[in-house]
Amino acid sequence: KLANTDPLSGLPNRRLLMETLRQVWRGRGEVHDPPVAVMMLDIDYFKAINDDHGHSVGDQVILRLADHLHTALRGSDLAARIGGEEFAICLPESEQAVDIAWRLCRQIAETPMEIEGNTIRCTVSLGVAIQSPEDEGPDALLARADRALYQAKTQGRNRVVADEAGA
């Protein structure tokens, strides 16, 4: 279990995310199968939270965000912590991935966190990619979501950008 779990958040890690994505990918194949979507989520200005309030507060922000993802997503979705302040979400059956991403973005921005006597307001940037026939595998899908995340951050953060396949 430890090999597949992020020790701080308790969420699955990158390894389990990729394993799950590969399984979901192999299970697809019929034209009428719903596409799999991937979201990449990054806490905006996380370094400033750590610098201003300390790493224990930063860790609590990660824990609260992990809890939020756990309750806000469907049971079939998988949220994973894949880096410091970076998360990935696998949505096995979701044409509504962009709507879900915007909902998460708004909910997080509108929910201040009370941590160790501090009111922490944070926002997130999300990149979304929905499986397309051009994707050669889950790595390509994840790369498109990562590219969209980068665009969300360069466009001002606290937003969602969807990577349109073939664009």
Each residue's pLDDT tens digit in the chain (167 positions)? 568 999 999 999 999 999 999 999 887 766 667 889 999 999 999 999 999 999 999 999 999 999 999 999 988 999 999 999 999 999 998 778 999 999 999 999 999 999 999 999 999 999 999 988 888 889 999 999 999 999 999 999 999 999 987 54
Active site residue 95: no
From 85, 86, 134, 136, active-site residue? 85
Measured distance between the N- and C-terminal CA atoms of the chain, rounded to whole angstroms: 39
Instruction: Find the farthest-apart pair of alpha carbons in the chain and give their distance in angstroms, rounded.
Output: 53
Q: What domains does the chain contain, in order, with CATH numbers?
A: 2-163 (3.30.70.270)
Query: pLDDT tens, 101-127?
Result: 999 999 999 999 999 999 999 999 999
pTM score, two decimals? 0.92
d(CA 37, CA 74): 13
